[in-house]
Amino acid sequence: MRLILLGPPGAGKGTQANFIKEKFNIPQISTGDMLRAAVKAGTPLGIAAKKVMDAGGLVSDDIIIGLVKDRLKEADCANGYLFDGFPRTIPQADAMKEAGVAIDYVLEIDVPDESIVERMSGRRVHQTSGRTYHVKFNPPKVEGKDDVTGEELIQRDDDKEETVKKRLAVYHEQTEVLVGYYNKWAQSGQSGAPKYRKISGVGPVETIRDKAFAALSE
């Protein structure tokens, strides 16, 4: 099972990625993790990436694709792999295609913006323990207080409504085009084209998981 997960920030991709990884016994490939590992290991690509990052620049698609190709040679990728948060742009998707990175499925988790804003901006966290609540879906017993310690809950900066809306705007501007890109490729009938599946990411986590598994067995 070799797949790409697509969907806006806050669509629940991380949660579903965990279910998919366990079911198919495949690693989740995150470019952030790969970059950190390559820099730490001091590989040639890691050294090149570190120079760029130290200068405050964005690591080029060439370096990222090189890292991906190296990562896919590792033993844990024998059964396949799951890309989460990559590719983010059309040039990255093109580079993956040109590098011959095989993809069986592209799974889009679709959630309307207003649901994501409600889901993320309602989150509250107990900083010390990491316990999370939601003002509407999973409220604490006492408003604004942790159930166990009674300490104040906080709203992380990432979860503030204006931040969530900005992240969604970036997604729509830069990454949403991949939905069309992969859909078109899937319908082209070309050899090596992935299957494209879209599921709704609204509802109980287990229901979404079952939809994801069903989509990946078609």
Instruction: Give the β-pairing of 81-84 and 195-200.
Output: unpaired
Active site residue 21: no
Q: Which of 2, 71, 119, 123 is catalytic?
A: 123
Active site residue 123: yes
Active site residue 88: yes
Q: Is 140 helix (H, G, I), strand (E, B) or coil?
A: coil
Round to the nearest angstrom and report the end-to-end CA distance of the chain. 12
| Torsion, Cα of 84, 89, 91, 94 (10° steps) | 50
Instruction: At 158, list the tokens.
Output: 């990432």
Q: Distances in Å between the alpha carbon of 19 and those of 2, 82, 106, 164?
A: 14, 11, 16, 25
Q: Which of 21, 36, 69, 88 is catalytic?
A: 88
Enumerate residues 6+ apart whose C-beta is below 8 A from 26: 1, 2, 20, 76, 77, 79, 80, 81, 82
Longest dimension (CA), the chain: 59
Enumerate residues 6+ apart whose C-beta is below 8 A from 168: 8, 9, 10, 113, 116, 117
Active site residue 13: yes
Active site residue 167: yes
Q: Which of 23, 51, 156, 166 is catalytic?
A: 156
Q: Would you please indicate which residues are annotated as catalytic (active-site) residues?
A: 13, 88, 123, 156, 167
